[in-house]
């Protein structure tokens, strides 16, 4: 994620915060400073408790991350956003038990912290009673140990419970999907969880709108789009199944020699279906000239510039045995729409493009709806 500032590393996981983060602290200081005429004391309180809330959110995300690492799932990073945190996992395990444990680990951290505070509270002179908990509203903004202790306790309870709302892709929604997946297929379980998540997001949005709660409206938007995107991803993965590059890549691709001028690539683009070109030297792949790179080069360079000066190098080619779903993931991560296909023994074979992936997806879907893979396996 861009716009994020690196903070530190925990267990090999990069912890980042969104650049708007300092703004949230300033906002907290200002609003608590003005709340109940809190003045400087209120402002310090605001900055302090807001920092503590994000520390709690970080611990929650670390809960998910450590559970994921336990199952050998790589955690890319944790990003703290103004509306909460995100632990970005390399993949979400389709094993319901693993997903359940990873999803539940976050809220469990919060409940464990709340219980810990409940236990150490009396040692620090903090006794919890129903009246004590109710006094949070009156002690809000008061720069005292009791007030902050109470705030941290209730925040933990709130974050733990709130995340258990079954609005996929929130934790509760993931738990719901995992539970459904023990009885139904993974895709069916996902589509039900996505539907419930999107219905609940409308509820959040409406509630936020009626109460003027901006946070809920933004959250509703994130849940709605997040659920849709993840649902689509699961569906694509299911449809592409274990189709491989060799079943979908384009043969007979035109490659260009690295010493040819840009003009050659320009004409080749205009006169063919192809818009990205593998660049070769003596039949071996030397680089790629994607369409976007060609356009940029044409803006700045002369038509006689040799392609080797502008081509992209160091591209990891696709192997014929790689899964299409992995290639799709790589292309979207690397922001490219074509990858050269190279076989260890046969050398350069052709190219796999986002269009090839689209075709494979649509044909696979159309050939056999009940068993989408069977048809295409026979067709290629
Ligand atoms: Zn969580």
Confidence band of 134 (pLDDT split at 50, 70, 90): low
**Overall domain count for the chain:** 3
Condensed to tens digits (0 to 9), the pLDDT of residues 32-54 reads: 777 666 678 788 888 888 889 88
Ligand 1 centre from 177 Cα, in Å?
A: 14
* Residue 200 domain flag: yes
- Are 255 and 282 in contact, with CB atoms under 8 Å apart? no
> Are 229 and 262 in the same domain?
no
* Residue 170 domain flag: yes
Domain edge (last residue) among 141, 164, 187: 164
Range of the domain at 91: 1-164
Condensed to tens digits (0 to 9), the pLDDT of residues 324-351 reads: 888 888 888 877 888 889 888 888 888 8
Ligand 1 centre from 128 Cα, in Å?
A: 26
> Are 133 and 13 in the same domain?
yes
**DSSP code per residue over 271-338:** TSS--SEEEEETTEEEEEE-HHHHHHHHHHS-TTSBGGGTSB-S--PBPTTSBHHHHHHHHHHHT-SE
Ligand 1 centre from 143 Cα, in Å?
A: 29
Confidence band of 372 (pLDDT split at 50, 70, 90): very low
The pLDDT, as a whole number, for residue 199 is 94
Ligand 1 centre from 226 Cα, in Å?
A: 14
């Amino acid at each position: 994620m861009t716009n994020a500032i690196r903070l530190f590393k925990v267990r090999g996981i990069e912890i980042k915060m969104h650049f708007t983060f300092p703004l949230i602290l300033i906002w907290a200081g200002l609003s608590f400073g003005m709340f109940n005429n809190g003045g400087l004391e209120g402002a310090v309180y605001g900055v302090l408790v807001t920092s503590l809330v994000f520390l709690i959110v970080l611990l929650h995300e670390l809960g998910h991350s450590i559970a994921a690492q336990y199952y050998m799932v790589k955690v890319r990073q944790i990003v703290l956003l103004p509306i909460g945190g995100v632990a970005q996992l390399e993949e979400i395990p389709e094993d319901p038990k693993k997903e359940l444990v990873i999803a539940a680990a976050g809220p469990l951290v919060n409940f464990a912290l709340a219980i810990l505070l409940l236990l150490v509270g009396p040692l620090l002179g903090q006794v919890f009673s129903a009246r004590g908990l109710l006094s949070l509203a009156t002690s809000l903004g008061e720069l005292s140990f009791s007030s902050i202790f109470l705030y941290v306790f209730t925040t933990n309870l709130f974050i733990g419970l709130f995340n258990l709302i079954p609005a996929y892709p929130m934790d509760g929604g993931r738990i719901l999907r995992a539970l459904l997946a023990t009885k139904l297929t993974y895709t069916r379980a996902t589509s039900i969880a996505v539907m419930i998540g999107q219905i609940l997001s409308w509820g959040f949005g409406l509630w936020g709108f009626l109460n003027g709660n901006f946070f809920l409206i933004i959250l509703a938007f994130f849940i709605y789009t997040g659920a849709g995107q993840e649902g689509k991803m699961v569906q694509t993965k299911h449809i592409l199944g274990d189709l491989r590059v060799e079943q979908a890549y384009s043969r007979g691709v035109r490659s260009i020699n690295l010493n040819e001028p840009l003009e050659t690539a320009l004409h080749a683009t205009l006169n063919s279906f192809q818009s990205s070109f593998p660049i070769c030297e003596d039949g071996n792949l030397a680089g790629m000239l994607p369409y976007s790179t060609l356009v940029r080069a044409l803006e700045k360079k002369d038509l006689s510039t040799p392609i080797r000066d502008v081509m992209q190098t160091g591209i990891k080619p696709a192997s014929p045995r790689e899964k299409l779903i992995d290639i799709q993931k790589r292309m979207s991560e690397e922001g490219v729409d074509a990858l050269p296909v190279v076989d260890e023994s046969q050398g350069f074979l052709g190219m796999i493009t986002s269009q090839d992936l689209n075709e494979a997806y649509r044909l696979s879907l159309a050939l056999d709806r009940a068993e989408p893979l069977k048809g295409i396996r026979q067709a290629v």
